[in-house]
Structure 1
Amino acid sequence: MARSLCFSRRSVSVLTGATAAAAMALTGCSGNSGGTDAAAPAKAPVKLPAGALVKSGQITYCSDISAPPLTYYDVAQKPVGAEVELGNALAAELGVKANWANTSFNGIIPALQAKQCDAIISQLYIKPEREKAVDFVPYMYASNTLVVAKKNAGTIKSADDLCGKKAAGQTGTTVVQYLTDRSAKCTVAGKAKIDIRQFTKDSDALQQLRLGLVDAYGTTLETAAYVLKQQPDDFSLAGEPFNRIKVGAATRKDDASLHDALAKALAAVSKSGSYDSILKKWNLTGDDIAG
């Protein structure tokens, strides 16, 4: 599902317009449990005090499991994705099992506060108003990127190469604003402006690139990563990610022990190399929190 940094369902509300490939994967129903994953190790590297979790021996994550490649259901109705793998790795460091509770994004913070789960892992942007309600353990960025046909990867290496070319994006997104700003720089430099094509659905913008009607398509890095995973021989990323914002695992304000434990677990997962491996697997190295 395409999500801009200003109109994303992670920051405001759920948007329609998933890619065709993503739509086939979104078979989970909001409000249902995602089941347990990742059996606990025999010895926990990071210790949790007694009573730190709603259910002993299990950490439950509230997550809107509908956003490949971060969280979605596979054909066996099992939660998969980059955030799922990261959450499972954190659980292993804590010596507990991971349980994924599929939760509507609009009600995800109230669900945490009502102790329906222990933490939120669901591409929750770290914003000042949210920091008043929950505590965060930052674990990655969300960002925008440009996608080009692989055959054009050598000539379009960044937005600087789009002067005089066509680019598609979803109406009202930060990507379109970014392209508009870059187009203005083209004209100031005496070059032709970028021909920006806007569409109400992100999937329609992608289709323009598939059909060769535009030279580039702007979207979130996360959506682009899923597109590249599905069609690795057809598309490439152009340039560095932009419009970055931090994403974090949220815990209740009165739950300092779990917050601190998750922070230690994340440090351990990063040190072991598992964090880098997860991002690499899902084409999300551009969202590395250390980057």
Structure 2
Amino acid sequence: MRRFQKLKHWLIAIPLSLAAVFASADEELVVGCNTSFLPFEFKQGDEYVGFDIDLWREIAKGLGVKWRLQPMDFGGLVPALQTRNIDVVLAGLYIKEERRKVIDYSDSYYKTGESAIVSINNNDITNAESLKGKVVAAETGTATVSYLQSLKTVDVRQYPNIVNALLELQTGRIDAVVHDTPNLVYYANTEGKGKVKLITPPIVTGLDYGIGFQKGSRWVEPVNKELAKIKADGRYEQLHRKWFGQAPDPA
């Protein structure tokens, strides 16, 4: 009886992160990711790569958990969490109080904002106010759509994938694309170089990305502990330099 009591007390004392590892020995987490959100997650050759994926790889290694990616369009990710078809969302997901009603979040892992991008010869759009009366593209299911709709006179065109919106910008059928600042900065400096220009400063600032989980998920606390370790031991800065070419801004 004493042995049983000792064992019971020992099990209670196991840290939550370690308990999660034990509980997941034969479990595989399904991690939903955006199909093309450079440089956070995108397909390169036959595999998906990016900052988010490298970060999650470090988290999963610390947890000792098996996982597999499930690439999806952004608009389907939160519904897939709600229906328990995936366990995790890794997709530059804004931490929003409205979403907290249906999903849980990790702690913030990236500070961000929203910017506009236009063709290189467009001199009409210089700030958020000048988006009014224009045809502006955004990705379906994102907070950007709600923001643009709040401007009232913006003609908002929604696309399931931001790559499609950027292609439309090149055709001249839309006036601007509004999306997450780091994604548009990356595009303007790579594939879009010489074709588009970024409107500065960003039109929205002070936003945070979090990793999404099913409501009540036991993985939130263990993941937060791993995130804290990664930030403290320098791995986060290494990944940031790898994908963004510089150290993260001071918190």
TM score, norm. by length of structure 1: 0.53
Compute the displacement of 1:60 (Å): 2.2
Q: Does 1:227 align with 2:227?
A: no
Compute the displacement of 1:52 (Å): 4.0
Unaligned runs of 5+ in 2: 1-14, 139-143
DSSP 3-state at the match of 1:111: coil
Compute the displacement of 1:56 (Å): 1.8
Instruction: Check the 8 A contact 1:60/1:99 in 2, yes or no.
Output: yes
Give distance in 2, aligned partners of 1:110 and 1:205. Answer: 28
Which one of 119, 127, 144 corresponds to residue 159 of structure 1?
127
Which one of 84, 88, 100 corresponds to residue 111 of structure 1?
84
Instruction: Check the 8 A contact 2:24/2:65 in 1, yes or no.
Output: no
Name the aligned partner's letter for residue 159 of structure 1.
N
Which one of 176, 183, 188 corresponds to residue 217 of structure 1?
176
State percent identity of aligned pairs.
17
* More helix as a share of residues: 2
Give distance in 1, aligned partners of 2:124 and 2:221. Answer: 44
Give distance in 2, aligned partners of 1:158 and 1:64. Answer: 32
Name the aligned partner's letter for residue 83 of structure 2.
P
Compute the displacement of 1:224 (Å): 1.7
Unaligned runs of 5+ in 1: 1-45, 182-195
- Equivalences for 1:1-291 in 2 at 5 Å? 48-52=17-21, 55-56=24-25, 60-69=29-38, 70-76=40-46, 78-96=47-65, 98-102=67-71, 104-105=76-77, 106-111=79-84, 117=87, 119-137=88-106, 138-141=108-111, 143-148=113-118, 159=127, 169-170=136-137, 173=145, 176=148, 206=166, 210=170, 217-221=176-180, 223-225=183-185, 227-228=187-188, 229-244=190-205, 245-252=207-214, 254-256=216-218, 258-279=219-240, 281-283=242-244
DSSP 3-state at the match of 1:159: coil
Instruction: Check the 8 A contact 2:18/2:63 in 1, yes or no.
Output: no
Instruction: Check the 8 A contact 2:137/2:156 in 1, yes or no.
Output: yes
Instruction: Check the 8 A contact 2:36/2:163 in 1, yes or no.
Output: no
Root-mean-square deviation (CA, aligned residues, Å) is 4.7
Counterparts in 2 of 1:145 and 1:123: CA distance versus 1, 3 Å: same
Instruction: Check the 8 A contact 1:71/1:83 in 2, yes or no.
Output: yes
Between stretches 142-151 and 86-95, larger displacement belongs to 142-151
Deviations 1:231-287 (A, max 9, x none): 34544433233435433223455555x3222112212222344434545555598xx
Counterparts in 2 of 1:248 and 1:200: CA distance versus 1, 3 Å: closer
Instruction: Check the 8 A contact 1:135/1:250 in 2, yes or no.
Output: yes
Deviations 1:166-216 (A, max 9, x none): 9651289356458779xxxxxxxxxxxxxx7765657686457546899x7
Give distance in 2, aligned partners of 1:109 and 1:156. Answer: 42
